[in-house]
A and B are shown apart, each in its own frame.
Chain A
């Protein structure tokens, strides 16, 4: 991470983007992610327009909005996943822990190692349950032998999966049930102890009981991580998140405490969306 002395002066002098009111009272940590004037393009098509926000550490921030509103795109900016594809580009400023991650000098592999991501569908790797969780740890040679076993077990426990798989660590990860696979993916992501955990509709492909277990897991993890979740499920956003942002047509329409967004939204479009008039 970049020490604060390296941040150019003109950036330091800028007034901070206002944090959603009341986040401090909810037990959340200081701002972890700061986004200023972010624009994103798929070729010529603009998918995000002038997004500015801050996202708090040790809290769950949810993004809701109709399909194509840019919420998944926002996540893909935060770990530079878009950079895998030509013709996709981001402009503006995104700071995570003070470091400008859009800078050309950022080591993308290192960035993604620190910004974990869980996808819409479970994506277990073609290897054993143990190796799935050990994958990131081995890649970056952070743990070996007994220490590796210890970290794998800790991650599986945190993802509330240990009791179910402790006797089948050598089975292929793809032989687990869908809900177990998704918790395996969460375990794999938190095993490397990332700074930020991004979840892109993590329960979209799961049954209600598996969904509930994942939500419980997230509640337990919020104490440690900055969690950003994109969801189509409004109840889920209301249940698990402290702060909710509503996005519409590439814009951040409104962002604030979830309790406020879901009861007294300020913008007409937010109101229409959460009451089911569109989307």
Chain B
């Protein structure tokens, strides 16, 4: 059964750890954190995004791909060979876990665009990679690229997040940043591709909530060449972030002012310069306003952003201790890792929390 074939009326858990010095930690801690919120998921989806895990291949795009059947793999590899120089390809190592069943073929490729193709298309490298990802996901039946950034990777499956982490041997990876998601699908049955994080290039999104404005947002973003192929609302957030941050060059504060815009009556009370900016952003990007309850954590190379919807209809807590920043749907998921936080707070609705590597400008 796939997304869209059934509706299940039914919450989610999100978490993240980030070392501001860039020091790498194992995936063990994020699994422990998200396991505290076990009851917020129902076993129909779990996943992680990990940054800094492929230093030996840091100059190459790492594609993680699900294949439903061997023919999909053959077709996809044919496409990849036409468009990229493939440096390495292999199964993503997993361990047998009783609770994880019906697994697709799961492959990883390190590759770089063919220079001749890049020149021919006259687009920059990242745009080229993104367009190849959409081509595979839209046109190659049974193939789904779910991770496509440099020196980062997404790992996801149908199962509770801590089980999914064990399945992917997440403890064997080391990164400076991990995000996590435990899924409780509210409208659809849950399948491997529908698990979070949703990622494009190095942007990844984990989301707790439900987007009331999904179809407006989907129609708006599809005008810019994105394709929503997964029938689940969270996907559109990843594309909106990619569009604003990579293509338009908005800051995360500006992105927050669009997708979690303040009410007009709050904008009216602002100082003139601030008011003008907010009016501009709301007017120009009106269909990108995301309504309905959400808390999201966005990962990208060298940074992390947390954001609540403007009414703060979902929970989100941020904690700090020395170099480490923690984020989670529930404070307990942070306290299990660090009982003695120097700072802990709940950001206001629509207020982005942006964390970067020391000295980073990403």
**Real complex partners, A and B?**
no
